Chains A and B, each alone.
Chain A
């Protein structure tokens, strides 16, 4: 497809379980971003990649959160030992090369931790 694709669209898990969320960016976009959004709030920055490397991971809340982008395209956000407070919509966005520009967002993955 032409847009940013995120899977799964919905994920329900139990407290303590491990979760992976996948993002497939627009082809050719070098920058990829992960955000977390709670209901009615603005997106909270987690991490962004430039190519394969994490250019800024200062938004990851703790060491239970980890993200990879091994080939500079698809990225996976990994959450270990999930907690109820991790419940949110996780948004992925990509941006073409260059220092500034438009972020193109996916529809998000809604995570519910019971």
Chain B
């Protein structure tokens, strides 16, 4: 079984400042990792994913996350946030073997960008 811990429930940050949303996971097997974003009254949208290969993955809107196997982390970063980044962000994990079809999500981190 896997688990995900998002260490901060809320993160306020000023516009154009950098931000890091922390995610740690626990698993006894190899994993795939994901970040999803949820805007108010909407479903979740995939932001980025790590399946294999380069440990640094990037999204089209400037976010990046780095898979660190030794620290079992997959922190999300953005060098300069915008008001439109205000949303809730969820880290999720699934094990990479065949036969696993469920994502295990963290409790989410609410990012509030202050003008």
Asked whether A and B interact, the reply is no
